[in-house]
Amino acid sequence: MTTSKRSLAAAGSFSVALVLSVVAIPGAIDASSVSNEEQWAFPGFGLIASLVFAVCGALLAFKRPENPVGWLFGAVGIAFAALTLGDVYAGVALVRGDEGGINYQVGWFNSWSWIIFVGLVAFAILLFPSGHLPGPRWRLGARLMAAGFVLGCLAFAFAPGPLNNLPAHITNRYALPDTPMTEAFTYVGALSFIGALAASAIGVIQRFRASSGVQRQQMKLFSYAAGVLAVSMVMIGVGSEILSPAAVNVLELVNSVAVMGVPLAMAVAILRYRLYDIDVVVNRTLVYGGLTAVLGLAYLTIVVVLQSLLEPITRDSDIAIAASTLAVAALARPVRDRIQRFIDRRFYRRKYDAVRTVGEFSSRLRDQVDLESLRAELVDVVSSTMQPAHASLWLRIPEETR
């Protein structure tokens, strides 16, 4: 594909997603008035996500046209925009009771076509970052994945019962007869869909374990974004049971940002922009995430203990809370240092050992006066920290000693 053609194709995929998103904006604004359906809590999410995928896809398609991940992202952006467009018009109309025109057909299509979007993302992840399958044996696996997504679409499209993401009274008019055979087909389709997703995850794990060098850094960046998304989803699941609705809304917003962070991370990784910064990001996330968890638990524990001990004296006073805050503030620095050392020893052992070896050598250097011993120690330190194939030290003899 020539430069002009790929530029036109990349711009075209983005333009289609942009047009569909712009057309959906009035419907998204109107959908905010629908309060009896939970999925309309953030109607603009689909529009933003479609543009993020479309931008990442267009950029990759232009810069890395040989990599199919960019073209898949462009298709995801278009699919996401089309699904959102159907949701904010036909879906909202169905929720309000208007089943006339093509509202029902669009609602029926949207109730199962999200599998297409998920399948495109799954294949993009499987091909990430090189654009090729993890190995030759994955050719059959990729075909089985495609078959699994197709069976999933068919199973959800013709399953009896209410349509997905719509009120329970709106049932599937195109469903197969409700027989044991139909129920078995639905289960097979659902299991095939789950199996296809599992295959994509296995491919990522296999590629990560076999990666090295630049590809290792690319996989780290993707794993970081996916890990943030997984943590945010777990927090929503736990928080919905114990937190207030306002706090849950904040978690849902964080989760939405995390969803869009995955394609952004993949695009940055494929373009190889500042890849090695991810080590610092992961290190800081582990340290400060652990610090936040430890200090939060310590604060709650100290508050409960102090309030129970000082209740006869303080009664309704906030002394226990103030004392707990001061205690946690005093613990912040030493706890952070301990967590930092633990993270370095556990996850960055080679770097930790190298830094410690150099530090110990620096302390001995001040007391070492024998040149031959110093030479031997220096070569040993370089060999253990840098691990070169060969190391030697040449000392120049001063002119006056010749």
pLDDT digits (tens, 9 = 90+) for 209-257: 888 888 888 888 888 888 888 888 888 877 777 777 777 777 888 888 8
Domain count of the chain? 3
Task: Note the pLDDT of residue 37.
Answer: 42
> Average model confidence (pLDDT) for the chain?
78
Count of Cβ atoms closer than 10 Å to residue 185 Cβ: 17
In this structure, what CATH number is given to the domain that contains residue 117? Answer: 1.20.1070
283 and 302 together in one domain: no
Residue where one domain finishes, among candidates 240, 266, 288 = 288
Q: Which value, to the nearest 10 degrees, does the dihedral of the CA atoms of residues 107, 43, 82, 89 take? A: 50
Q: Are residues 326 and 252 in the same domain?
A: no
Are residues 281 and 155 part of one domain? yes
Give pLDDT tens digits for 20-64. Answer: 888 887 777 766 655 444 444 455 777 888 888 998 888 888 888
Asked if residue 17 belongs to a domain, the reply is yes
- Final residue before a domain boundary, out of 258, 288, 318: 288
pLDDT of residue 124: 92
What local confidence, expressed as pLDDT, does residue 194 receive? 92
Q: Are 268 and 385 contained in the same domain?
A: no
Domain of residue 298: give its range: 290-345
> In this structure, are 276 and 317 located in the same domain?
no
Judge whether 396 lies within some domain: no
Higher per-residue confidence, 166 vs 177: 177
Percent of the chain beyond pLDDT 70? Answer: 74
Phi, psi at 249, each rounded to 5°? -65, -40
Question: Quick check: is 125 in a domain?
Answer: yes
The answer to whether residues 36 and 50 belong to one domain is yes
User: What is the Cα Rg of the chain in Å?
Assistant: 29
Same domain (yes/no): 60, 149: yes
Q: Are residues 322 and 175 in the same domain?
A: no
Last residue of a domain, one of 240, 269, 288: 288
| 326 inside domain | yes
- 204 and 224, same domain (yes or no): yes
Helix-helix angle 103-127:68-86, to 10 degrees: 160
For residue 69, the tally of other CB atoms under 10 A from its CB is 26
Output the DSSP codes for 92-150: HHHHTT---TTHHHHHHHHHHHHHHHHHHHHHHHHHTTTTS-SSTTHHHHHHHHHHHHH
Q: What is the mean pLDDT of residues 290-319?
A: 69
Answer yes or no: is pLDDT of 152 > 50. yes
CA atoms within 13 A on the CB side of 364: 15
pLDDT tens digits, one per residue of 68-119: 998 999 899 898 888 888 888 887 788 877 777 788 888 899 889 889 888 9
- Answer yes or no: do 282 and 208 share one domain: yes
Q: For residue 281, is it within any domain? A: yes
Whether 357 is covered by a domain: the verdict is yes
| CA–CA dist 220, 158 (Å, integer) | 40
Q: How far apart are CA 34 and CA 274, in angstroms?
A: 44
> How far apart are the C-alpha atoms of 306 and 285, rounded to whole Å?
31
Q: Is residue 397, in this structure, part of any structural domain at all?
A: no
3-state SS assignment for residue 190: helix
Please answer whether residues 335 and 290 qualify as being in contact, where contact means their C-beta atoms are separated by less than 8 angstroms.
no
- pLDDT tens column, 349-397: 555 555 666 666 666 666 665 666 666 766 676 666 555 666 776 766 6
pTM for this model (two decimals): 0.71
336 and 371, same domain (yes or no): no
Query: How many Cβ atoms sit within 10 Å of the Cβ of residue 329?
Result: 11
Q: Are 121 and 145 in contact (CB under 8 A)?
A: no
Q: How far apart are CA 189 and CA 196, in angstroms?
A: 11
The CA distances from residue 167 to 42, 115, 172, in Å, are 18, 20, 12
Pair 126, 134: CB distance under 8 Å: yes
Tokens 């199919």, residue located: 68
Asked if 313 and 362 sit in the same domain, the reply is no
User: For residue 324, is it within any domain?
Assistant: yes
- Which pLDDT score is estimated for 35? 46
